[in-house]
Amino acid sequence: MRSSEEQRKPNIPQGSCRQRGAVKPQGYVGAPSSSPAQVAPSPREDQNDLLEKMLEGNNLRLAYKRVVQNGGAPGVDGVTVAELQAYLKTHWETVKAELLAGTYRPAPVKRVEIPKPGGGVRLLGIPTVMDRFLQQALLQVMNPIFDADFSWYSYGFRPGKRAHDAVKQAQRYIQSGRRWVVDLDLEKFFDQVNHDMLMARVARKVKDKRVLKLIRAYLSAGAMENGVCQKTEEGTPQGGPLSPLLANILLDDLDKELTKRGLRFVRYADDCNIFVASKRAGERVMRSITHYVEGKLKLKVNRDKSAVDRPWNRRFLGFSFLRNRQATIRLSPKTISRLKEKVRELTNRSRSISMEERILKLNRYLMGWIGYFRIASAKGHCERFDKWIRRRLRMCLWKQWKRVRTRIRELRALGVPEWAAFMMANSRKGAWEMSRNINNAL
């Protein structure tokens, strides 16, 4: 590790931490046939020392490193990630003493609204960097305890699993003949989690009462919005490192119920698809699972977005499938629309930025987009995107050449004959039309 990184680390005592990963089960399509393998819990997990494990030096150093890598906006106290080391040097001993005594009180999260592509807003809760640091440290010791018993077919926010694995598992179900899907959408899941039900499930494996009290404190810390602190009596705010694990702990009951019924499913966080062989079976499953989710888990199913349909008519994690025997993975229409909206935003000819900066931002976005959607069959789409994006860049360039004299000079420098440069520069066509005409010159 570089010396500069060593200097940024807080002065935290030495220690160690141990982690276990999930064991692949044997059971459905894509795996051999028996129940999921179980990993025996460590004898120490029954002791009341989970908080001490959280506060071990190695665990805290790893948490610090990950918080710094993830970056993010400051919380309500205004302390940035870059200032975390100095903040820890000043406040760590006090915070540690409060944690050990069970008197630590997290700060309220900062409420941020993120627009959804389909309309509406998603509410995020940004904890302070200190609370992000503590949540990350707690996550690292809790994850091995719970993750080992999670369903193999739960893919969201788990070590060694990713969205691509979930999409490929769904593809295998379709290839096996289950060509109907029960697309279950939970309405505002992260905002409607029942605290008492969640804590009861956490307490099944966490025996350290100080840790349980700390988790409850994070759930009820409140949210700061427009300078007013609002109480949070339900929900686990999106934005903190601990929230995804808590969501998986609650929804693990749904996974086990689906497994007990012998259903083939794929779940990524609150996005759950169940694959069946007929529409009639799908409708029956939809009724019974909706009753279970709303009755047992106290969550609400969004009936407008949930449906029993063919997989190629639905969208799963941005992907869809072709209607063929191989169920080829493809881009969903909404994914294509979102890409175009983002590219239009980055290549808006009214934005007064240099072409170099515009291309840099565009490349950064496209590299991330391609990295995620690379498993889809989209060669034709990518060729069309390439032509369209290049034309939009030519449009921006023509817009920058506002004056006729500038256009003539630039076209002449590109080797365009004098007469052609004069005609193009004096054309009354708009920038979008001219972006086609200057293709050969550029």
Q: What is the mean pLDDT of residues 52-66?
A: 95
Question: Cα(204)–Cα(149) distance, rounded to whole angstroms?
Answer: 12
Q: What is the mean pLDDT of residues 1-20?
A: 42
Reported as a single tens digit per residue, the pLDDT across 239-252 is 889 999 999 999 99
Instruction: Please state the separation of Cα 3 from the chain's center in Å.
Output: 32
172 pLDDT band (50/70/90 cuts)?
A: very high
Question: Cα(67)–Cα(132) distance, rounded to whole angstroms?
Answer: 7
Joined tokens for residue 293 = 């989710």
Which residues have C-beta within 8 Å of that of residue 415, sequence separation ≥ 6?
A: 441
222, pLDDT greater than 60 = yes
Question: Cα(141)–Cα(45) distance, rounded to whole angstroms?
Answer: 10
What pLDDT is stored for residue 117 in this prediction? 65
What pLDDT is stored for residue 120 in this prediction? 67
Question: Cα(193)–Cα(195) distance, rounded to whole angstroms?
Answer: 6
Question: Cα(272)–Cα(109) distance, rounded to whole angstroms?
Answer: 28
46 pLDDT band (50/70/90 cuts)?
A: very low
Question: Cα(331)–Cα(402) distance, rounded to whole angstroms?
Answer: 38
For residue 154, list its beta bridge partners: 267
What pLDDT is stored for residue 85 in this prediction? 93
265, pLDDT greater than 90 = yes
57 pLDDT band (50/70/90 cuts)?
A: very high
Joined tokens for residue 354 = 């240099």
35, pLDDT greater than 60 = no
Pairs from 244-247 (Cβ < 8 Å, separation ≥ 24): 244/156, 244/157, 244/269, 245/139, 245/142, 245/143, 245/146, 245/157, 246/193, 246/198, 246/202, 246/215, 246/219, 247/156, 247/157, 247/189, 247/190, 247/193
Q: What is the 3-state secondary structure (H, E, C) of the chain?
A: CCHHHHHHCCCCCCCCCCCCCCCCCCCCCCCCCCCCCCCCCCHHHHCCCHHHHHCCHHHHHHHHHHHHHHCCCCCCCCCCHHHHHHHHHHHHHHHHHHHHHCCCCCCCEEEEEEECCCCCEEEEEECCHHHHHHHHHHHHHHHHHHHCCCCCCECCCCCCCCHHHHHHHHHHHHHCCCCEEEEEEECCHHHHCEHHHHHHHHCCCCCCHHHHHHHHHHHCCCEEECCEEECCCECCCECECCHHHHHHHHHHHHHHHHHHCCCEEEEECCEEEEEECCHHHHHHHHHHHHHHHHHHCCCCECCCCCEEECHHHCCECCEEECCCCCCCEEECHHHHHHHHHHHHHHCCCCCCCCHHHHHHHHHHHHHHHHHHHCCCCCHHHHHHHHHHHHHHHHHHHHHHCCCHHHHHHHHHHCCCCHHHHHHHHCCCCCHHHHHHHCCCCC
Reported as a single tens digit per residue, the pLDDT across 324-336 is 999 999 999 999 9
Q: Give percent of the chain with pLDDT exceeding 90.
A: 63
Reported as a single tens digit per residue, the pLDDT across 186-205 is 988 888 888 999 999 999 99
What pLDDT is stored for residue 240 in this prediction? 87
Reported as a single tens digit per residue, the pLDDT across 334-387 is 999 999 999 999 999 888 889 999 999 999 999 999 999 999 999 999 999 999
28, pLDDT greater than 80 = no
Name the least confident of 136-145, 354-363, 378-387, 421-430: 421-430
Q: What is the mean pLDDT of residues 7-30?
A: 42
What single letter denotes the amino acid at residue 254?
L
Mean pLDDT, the chain, rounded, equals 86
